[in-house]
Amino acid sequence: MSLGNIRIGTRLIGSFVIVLAITMVVGLNGISSMRTLAAGAQAMYEKELLALSHAKEANIALIYMERAARGLVLATSAEQRRQSLQHVDEAKTIIKNEFDAAKALHHSDKSKVLAAEFERHYAAYLDNVNKLIELSSREGFTQSRESIEYLHSAAFTETVNKADDALTALTKQNELQAKTAAAEGQVLYESSRTVAIGLLSAGVVLGLVLRS
């Protein structure tokens, strides 16, 4: 075997080893990136999307409670009043359960501040609802009632509006955080793709150089 053949064989083996090594690096980089993306997607689901879902359910229940409170004071019979009171209690339970579930998933300072703001306004609104229930329980079913006047008072409407605004702001914050997490995942994907293309290109170039 001539020296030239040995050198050619060595270059071919070297090219193969280099290409194989680069292929392994690309594969490991891809596996690592997929693992990171999967973990990020799971975290986004558990922290952001679930928190968003619970906050929206609480917001829906808050609207449901407001309607039930109106039904309570506008009832024209004891049965209607009883049903409205039951709906108010159901809404309270849903709000508590859904908000507590959302709050447990909050991890950013902004979300925690907004959650505390909602709790403050919601507590004031609950006080007003309880006062409304007390007023209606002492009244008959005439058109002119103190509970109706209180329902339409600025003191009552202001608290429910502030609670609703705070919960809406919390929902939007959860949406923003979910979008941010998704954008970070996209950046990681593009970075991984760039590294893979770069390594493959380098492998092709080195292989051609060693063969020449």
Question: 156-204 pLDDT, tens per residue?
Answer: 999 999 999 999 999 888 888 777 777 776 776 777 777 777 766 766 6
pLDDT at 90: 95
Of the candidates 161, 88, 155, the one whose C-alpha atom is nearest the C-alpha of residue 128 is: 155
105 HSE (CA, 13 A, CB side): 25
CB-based burial, 42-68: b 16+ in 10 Å, e otherwise = eebeebbbbbbbbbbbbbebbebbbeb
- For residue 137, give every residue at least 6 positions away whose Cβ sits within 8 Å of its Cβ, in sequence order, or none: none
Residue range 42-64, pLDDT digits in tens: 665 566 778 888 898 999 999 99
Between vectors from CA 162 to CA 159 and to CA 166, what angle results, nearest 5°? 140
Please give the helix or strand (H or E) that residue 1 lies within, else none: none
pLDDT at 161: 93
Q: What is the band of 1 on the pLDDT scale with cuts at 50, 70, 90?
A: very low
Greater model confidence, 139 or 27: 139
Q: Are 95 and 122 in contact (CB under 8 A)?
A: yes
- Is the predicted pLDDT of residue 8 greater than 80, yes or no? no
Q: Are 124 and 64 in contact (CB under 8 A)?
A: no
Q: Report d(CA 158, CA 66) in Å as an integer.
A: 12
pLDDT at 204: 66
Greater model confidence, 40 or 83: 83
- Averaged pLDDT of the chain: 80
Specify the DSSP class assigned to residue 162.
H
- Is the predicted pLDDT of residue 2 greater than 50, yes or no? no
